[in-house]
Copies of this chain bind each other. A is one copy, B any other.
Amino acid sequence: MTSRSVEEHSAEVQRLLAPLLAPTVEDVAVTEALGRVLGADVRSPLDLPLFRNSQMDGFAVAASSLAAVPVTLPVTGTIAAGPAEPAPLAPGSAVRIMTGAVIPAGADAIVPVEDTDATEDSVTIRVPRRAGEYVREAGTDVRTGDLLLAAGTALGARHLSLFAAVGLATVPVLRRPRAAVIATGAELVRAGEPLRPGQIYESNSVALAASLTANGADVVFVDRSDDDLAVFGEILRRATASADLVITSGGVSMGDFEVVREVLTPLGGWFGHTTMQPGGPQGLAEIDGVPVLNFPGNPVSTMVSFEVFVRPLLRRSAGLPAVPREDLVLAEPITSIPGRRQFLRGRRVDGGVALESGPGSHLVGALARADVLIDIPENVTTMKAGDNVRVWPL
């Protein structure tokens, strides 16, 4: 049996997941858009500032009234921030004005309150002001039609602030792919359920759902199946009905009870071996137009399969930045099996990377302590301490 390389299987996965990579856009409330990715350029429906307003608490005047200072001007009223259509300022007078309030016609400068001495109905101004001082002209921050933010922007608080300021209630964002997860295996029980001899706690659905969520998917369906073909078939039918992508774990390899392979092979699924370790046995299928990826059931195999085959594509689909590969210096020698693309669990240490326990695909304690996968090419069998090695940050 020839095995697919990681690149070959990745290409098949990418072909299958192509629909997810043609992003679609949905409108969400600005108040719910934190962390989403803008799906289209957004232009301003109005000017900011929307109207000429005061930058300070103080007095609105015509700068020409301050030709000789100190000068005392009559105060004709008060303009607060808020709904207001103030009358034009009479020549030679001043009006009390608050920060953000509409500046009346006839006034062209603001004198801050701390530069004045005022009574109820007059103000003495000690320093001259040029026209325009402490005046915020309409449109000086944003003009109607200006590009506010470009498609692809990952939305943070300051972006939402701007959308709110121009009165947008919703914004177009990339729709998150809807994902479904099915863990399979007669040996699996959920936390809290009684454990009989030969059974283990199910962790792959937890791991996959969290991995999908952390990389931009919306997990809409999580279930678990034993090795009964009809039960799995029915769960799969519900998963494909609700999701853009289904990931299963378990039931893909060479054993006698391989529920995923047995159900999906007659439906056109591919099952075979890749040179990847862990995660050698893989499967994929398209059911009712929905891509279905089938990972092996060992917990480390499942996680490595996600990191290698799904995470880069999913992040692209969600508009999230790629996780960069890095080259680090090995802190210790390693050996690898010829013809196997090994992904060892590693941990950053001072200036380099060390192995985190052994290669076994059941070592979930070691995986939890790891922060990178160490990528050993197929043709490499030994590496020395001090060699450069490619790592994939987890």
Contacts and interface: CB of A to CB of B under 8 A. Distances in A.
Interface in A134-177: 136, 140-142, 146, 148-149, 156-169
B362 A209 contact: no
B185 A167 contact: no
The prevalent SS among residues of A at the interface is loop
A156 B210 contact: yes
A137 to B, nearest CB: 11
A187 interface: yes
Contacts of A62: none
Given A162-B367, A185-B82, A254 B114 contact: yes
Query: Which of A50, A149, A213 gathers most chain B CB within 10 Å?
Result: A50
A113 interface: yes
Interface of A: 30-31, 34-35, 44, 48-51, 55, 57, 78, 80-85, 96, 98-102, 113-114, 136, 140-142, 146, 148-149, 156-169, 185-187, 191-192, 195-204, 206-211, 213-214, 226-227, 253-257, 297-299, 303, 357, 360-370, 394
Given A44-B365, A78-B256, A148-B368, 16 more contacts: A48-B362, A50-B200, A51-B198, A55-B361, A57-B254, A83-B198, A84-B197, A98-B256, A99-B255, A101-B198, A149-B368, A158-B303, A160-B207, A161-B303, A167-B192, A168-B191
22 contacts: A30-B191, A48-B362, A48-B365, A55-B360, A55-B361, A57-B255, A80-B256, A82-B226, A83-B187, A98-B255, A141-B360, A156-B394, A157-B208, A157-B214, A157-B303, A158-B364, A161-B368, A164-B203, A164-B206, A165-B203, A165-B364, A167-B191
